[in-house]
């Protein structure tokens, strides 16, 4: 389509490389070098006998042939113009960025489809007799309003149509100069590295002005040079690149084969080899042996348990457990009774069954103090009893024994000694109980015997 655009807008005669198709396939230079006779035949065919489109070069100079060729060129040019117009109209009709109103889009789409549809598809396929007169085209009669609207909207189509053609021409020029952009690009950037930015921009602006004022080379010559370069690349560089690519592919395949071989070796050694299989089998054997040993241990454990825990042993253990439970209950009851008994004495303050004696009273120091007081009282009472049993002359008699000669006084003295003995016995009994509670070993038998003797003497 771009070639047709160039043929219409850049000269009346269509270039040969655009209107003809290359029918002679390229040949590898290495094949031509290896076959000299085929090389001569190929060069004779491509340079002397045939055109690239496989047409003959033997052009007759007769006026009739020249006239037919010119007429063919004109028909080709008209057909190319028609195809370019149809393609541009289709692009404007179905493009979203054509800046056309919606009604223009619809009208242009209808006209485009009508132009692209062949007339054989529009006409009726039923045969008609030759005598029947021809009727006007029904499609034209149906599309009459759309065609009139299209002619009315032609001024609105001119600007988008021109922009589309300009874009196609720019694409053609970009394709023709694609190989020269990389060579010319460094020249535009070189001054910027040597001078200031202002001077570089000024020179670039002057260069653009001179370029715009310079005559534009024909697009046909640029495209011919571009195709010539591409064909040379296809004939010379492409086969070399293919050979290099084939060699590289062969090297890659060889490396891949070595990698696969190495992988197989590693797998053979690590997983599927004899050593790996032997190690795996040994590990499985050890696992089975460990499971067997574990089972044997469980069986041995059960046998030992069956041997130790016989029904008689279990019954004895149950009885012993019941005995321990009963013993524990008895000890707890005894502890409770002892605590209650200690609480009844009033000498110790019991807080709870767990802590029997309070922290302030009932300690060893307090018990020793109270025991000392009781011991002193016992000694005093014993001394008093001894004095009562064995009176001694006293130059200063006490009031208790002075002038005690009457029977009533003797009876009062006996009663007082009796009460002193009773109190003394209670003190000795209390001291004995305290010593038993504290775990002290004190012999109160002699004191109790003396007190009993004194009591009998009074009686």
Model pLDDT, residue 300: 93
Whole-prediction pTM? 0.36
Distances (CA, A) of 66 to 44, 57, 61, 219, 240: 25, 14, 7, 26, 43
Residue of 6 and 248 predicted with greater confidence: 248
351/163 Cα distance (integer angstroms): 113
388-442 pLDDT tens trace: 766 555 444 444 444 444 566 656 666 666 667 676 677 767 777 766 665 555 5
Find where tokens 């000498």 sit: 347
Residue 299 predicted with pLDDT over 80: yes
Q: Residue 229 in 3-state DSSP? A: helix
Average pLDDT rounded to a whole number, residues 40-52 = 84
Model pLDDT, residue 184: 44
HEC sequence for 61-79:
CCHHHHHHHHHHHHHHHHH
Model pLDDT, residue 70: 87
Residue 326 predicted with pLDDT over 80: yes
Average pLDDT rounded to a whole number, residues 333-338 = 90
211-251 pLDDT tens trace: 444 555 666 677 777 787 887 777 778 888 888 999 999 99
What interhelical angle do 219-232 and 2-9 show, nearest 10?
A: 140
| 342 touches 355 (CB < 8 A) | no
Find where tokens 């219409």 sit: 8
Model pLDDT, residue 324: 95
- Average pLDDT over the chain reads 72
Give residue limits of the domains in the chain: 2-124+137-180+217-236, 363-392+404-458
Long-range contacts of 6-11 (CB under 8 A, 24+ apart): 6/169, 6/172, 6/219, 6/220, 6/223, 7/77, 7/80, 8/77, 8/80, 8/81, 8/84, 9/165, 9/169, 10/218, 10/219, 10/220, 11/218, 11/220
């Amino acid at each position: 389509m771009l070639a047709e655009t160039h043929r219409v807008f850049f000269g009346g005669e269509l270039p040969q490389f655009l209107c003809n198709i290359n029918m002679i396939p390229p040949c590898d230079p290495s094949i031509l070098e290896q076959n000299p006779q085929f090389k001569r035949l190929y060069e004779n065919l491509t340079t002397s006998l045939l055109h690239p489109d496989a047409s003959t070069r033997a052009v007759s100079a007769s006026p009739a042939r020249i006239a037919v060729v010119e007429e063919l060129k004109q028909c080709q040019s008209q057909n190319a113009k028609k195809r370019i117009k149809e393609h541009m109209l289709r692009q404007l009709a179905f493009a979203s960025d054509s800046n056309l109103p919606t009604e223009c889009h619809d009208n242009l789409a209808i006209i485009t489809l009508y132009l692209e549809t062949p007339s054989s598809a529009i006409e009726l396929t039923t045969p008609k007799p030759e005598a029947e007169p021809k009727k006007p085209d029904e499609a034209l009669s149906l599309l009459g309003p759309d065609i009139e609207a299209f002619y009315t909207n032609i001024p609105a189509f001119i600007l988008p149509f021109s922009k589309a053609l300009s874009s196609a021409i720019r694409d053609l020029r970009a394709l023709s100069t694609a190989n020269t952009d990389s060579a010319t690009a460094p020249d535009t950037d070189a001054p910027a590295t040597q001078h200031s930015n202002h001077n570089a921009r000024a020179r670039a602006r002057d260069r653009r002005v001179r370029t715009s004022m310079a005559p534009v080379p024909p697009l046909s010559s640029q495209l011919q040079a571009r195709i010539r370069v591409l064909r040379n690349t296809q004939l010379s560089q492409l086969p070399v690149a293919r050979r290099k690519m084939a060699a590289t592919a062969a090297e890659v395949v060889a490396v891949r084969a070595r990698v696969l071989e190495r992988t197989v070796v590693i797998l053979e050694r690590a997983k599927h080899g004899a050593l790996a299989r032997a190690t795996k089998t040994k590990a499985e054997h050890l696992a089975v042996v460990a499971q067997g040993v574990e089972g044997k241990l469980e069986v041995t454990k059960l046998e030992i348990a069956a041997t130790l825990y016989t029904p008689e042993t279990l019954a004895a253990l149950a009885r012993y457990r019941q005995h321990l439970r009963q013993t524990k209950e008895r000890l707890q009851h005894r502890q409770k009774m002892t605590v209650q008994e200690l609480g009844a004495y009033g000498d110790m303050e019991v807080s709870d069954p767990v802590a029997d004696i309070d922290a302030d009273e009932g300690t060893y120091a307090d018990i020793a103090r109270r025991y000392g007081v009781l011991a002193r009282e016992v000694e005093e009472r014993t001394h008093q009893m001894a004095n009562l049993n064995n009176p001694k002359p006293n130059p200063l008699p006490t009031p208790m024994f002075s002038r005690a000669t009457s029977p009533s006084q003797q009876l009062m003295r006996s009663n007082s000694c009796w009460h002193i003995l009773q109190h003394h016995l209670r003190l000795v009994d209390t001291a004995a109980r305290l010593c038993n509670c504290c775990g002290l070993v004190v012999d109160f038998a002699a004191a109790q015997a003396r007190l009993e003797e004194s009591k009998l003497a009074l009686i």
